[in-house]
Amino acid sequence: MRVLGINAIFHDPAAALTVDGAVVAAAEEERFSRRKHGKRPVPFSAWEPPEKAARWCLEEAGLEPGDLDAVAYSYDPDLVEPGIDGHDEQWERLRTLYARRAPNFLATALPGLDPGIVRYVPHHVAHAASAALAAPGPGDGDVLVLDGRGESHSHLAGTYRNGVLTPLCAQRLPHSLGLMYEELTEHLGFLRSSDEYKVMALASYGEPRFADELREHVRATGDGGFTAARVDWGALAKARRPGGEWTRDHADLAASAQVRLEEVLLELAAWLHGRTGSRRLTLAGGVALNCVANSRLAATGPYDDVWVQPAAGDAGTALGAALHVARDGGDPLTAMPGADLGRHFDDREIARWLDTAGIPHERPDDLAAAVADALARNEIVAWFQGRSEFGPRALGRRSLLAHPGHAGNVERLNDVKGREQFRPIAPMVALDHAAEIFDGPLPSPYMLFVHEVRPHWRERIPAVVHVDGTARIQTVAAADEPLLARLLEEFRRRTGLPVVVNTSLNTAGRPMVDDPRDALECFGSAPVDLLAIGPYVVRRREVHAR
């Protein structure tokens, strides 16, 4: 079967394509439209399909819309319960209407598409499939989905056997751990449904002194579900205005919410494991992007193996919906090959972009060595290689790289990107050296867990050590990422450090760079010393010398 998956209903619109059970392509609309998160998560935006991402997925496979066997839409309007507490009825009717009209919206966006082949997949089932059906290794195991909301629920706990999901519990709205965290995000002056990761970073600066108050509002119920009553955040700490200074109260509030989220997650996982006895747990939903909570679950939870979908947020439901429909159609599924499912450009295309822009560039005999030289000189490198990443993490395809041995590179990179200074930057590390430097789940190729930095390494790589002594690492295996592995080895030869700073190639408020034009614009507007784009390098000093 040829199945196009679509996420469009809330935020992070995306498309994914499976052909005969294999994942061919997946991309978020923001990478094409250059609008962060694609659109805001408001009901009147629910009509917008990921038109550009969907067209690219088809082009990548050499298909036309009329060649598709099915379109899987990751939301089922028939599951919306009218009158559910917490819904604004007027807006909910509009969202549901747009979802019902989705086949026509898609047929307009993709001329030649038969609207009759559109199939609705429940939102949390799509999340679950994006994890359990895409995970490497045997497909059986448990799945836990936690996010802001789906049609009428905010959570799903279930188990997969032979590729078939058996739901065991689903928490009905308005109770939602994701919405609780979103509301705190807004209270702390950040953009909800966007900046929750900033709250997680800020939590490391605080103490959970409000945890007892939150335990009165947010708790597991012992039957697989939970309650999350509305919290009066202002009674605990004064709201922070956007862009304002954060205080100790704000950090303590973030720390308290983080701890309570972790505690409830552990209880939910323990209940699920008690029902199934499974060794393996897969996670999806926006809450699964909380790498601190993931790490605590992996370290102290009941499962031997915890795997998190790298595009765990709503974008991943496009992939999950496609996999779910493909499995129902009898396709034998193959695991997700990696997060590098987006656009790619060959050497000639990149050369044309550089020539058209009139940018001086060179093609070094050894790209990894040339970049390692620059990093060893403490230069900042924009790295643009191969297929772009699907999901929110830069994983060595569209990255900013720097030397981890200089503590000042935290402030330097946050200035380059226009970010808050409390936010950490992350390391990529050669898998063969990871265990000697970091303590935590290995391998960790998707930056979805935090690891303790071993004490004798903290002074050697201070730029990637967060205030709490942890780092959100990406491990690099030579078999999977030969160019990145060579870069890390060349850098190790020059510095003795098998670690390089890796953060996303973008500036604040902008999506990650995706095509060569984006890369050149970012390089031109930010104080980056070297751009490694395909086999070519562009040096800032040579551009300015002209």
What are the extents of the domains in the chain?
2-126+315-329, 135-308, 347-544
Give tens-digit pLDDT for 305-315. 999 999 999 99
Classify burial at 373, counting beta carbons within 10 Å of its beta carbon; exposed 0-12, middle 13-18, buried 19 or more.
Answer: middle
CATH topology of domain 2-126+315-329: Nucleotidyltransferase; domain 5 (3.30.420)
Give tens-digit pLDDT for 277-286. 999 999 999 9
Q: What is the mean pLDDT of residues 231-253?
A: 96
pLDDT of 298 strictly over 90: yes
Q: Which residues contact 6 (CB under 8 A, 6 or more apart)?
A: 13, 14, 15, 49, 50, 54, 71, 72, 73, 74, 102, 106, 318, 321
Tell me the three state secondary structure of residue 233.
helix
Q: Which residues pair with 7 in a beta bridge?
A: 14
pLDDT reported for residue 133: 97
Give tens-digit pLDDT for 377-428. 999 999 999 999 999 999 999 999 999 999 999 999 999 998 999 999 999 9
**CB-based contact 261:182 (threshold 8 Å):** no
* Residue of higher predicted confidence among 323 and 526: 323
pLDDT reported for residue 399: 98
Tokens for 467?
Answer: 């205030």
Q: How confident is the model at residue 85 (pLDDT cuts 50, 70, 90)?
A: low
pLDDT reported for residue 91: 85
pLDDT reported for residue 546: 64
Q: How confident is the model at residue 92 (pLDDT cuts 50, 70, 90)?
A: confident
* Residue of higher predicted confidence among 232 and 88: 232
pLDDT reported for residue 90: 82
Q: How confident is the model at residue 86 (pLDDT cuts 50, 70, 90)?
A: low
Is 11 labeled as catalytic in the residue annotation? yes
Lowest pLDDT segment from 56-70, 86-100, 164-178, 481-495: 86-100
Classify burial at 464, counting beta carbons within 10 Å of its beta carbon; exposed 0-12, middle 13-18, buried 19 or more.
Answer: buried
pLDDT reported for residue 198: 95
pLDDT of 342 strictly over 80: yes
Q: Does domain 347-544 have CATH number 3.90.870.20?
A: yes
Q: What is the mean pLDDT of residues 485-511?
A: 96
The answer to whether 2-126+315-329 and 135-308 have equal CATH topology is: yes
Rounded-to-integer distance, Cα 366 and Cα 377, Å:
17
Q: What is the mean pLDDT of residues 124-142?
A: 94
Q: How confident is the model at residue 139 (pLDDT cuts 50, 70, 90)?
A: confident
Classify burial at 369, counting beta carbons within 10 Å of its beta carbon; exposed 0-12, middle 13-18, buried 19 or more.
Answer: middle
Rounded-to-integer distance, Cα 42 and Cα 416, Å:
31
Indicate the average pLDDT of the chain: 96
Buried b (16+ CB within 10 A) or exposed e, 61-87: bebebeebebbbbbbbbebbeeebeeb
Sheet holding 474-476, edge to edge: 474-476, 426-430, 499-504, 398-402, 381-384, 530-533, 536-539
Q: Which residues contact 87 (CB under 8 A, 6 or more apart)?
A: 173, 174
* Three-point CA angle 323, 324, 329, nearest 5°: 95
pLDDT reported for residue 82: 78
Residue from 11, 250, 361, 451 carrying the catalytic annotation: 11
Torsion sign over Cα 410, 415, 416, 419: positive
Global confidence as pTM: 0.96
Q: What is the mean pLDDT of residues 144-172?
A: 97
Give tens-digit pLDDT for 470-497. 999 999 999 999 999 999 999 999 999 9
Give the class (CATH, top level) of 135-308. alpha beta
Give tens-digit pLDDT for 361-385. 999 999 999 999 999 999 999 999 9
pLDDT reported for residue 278: 97
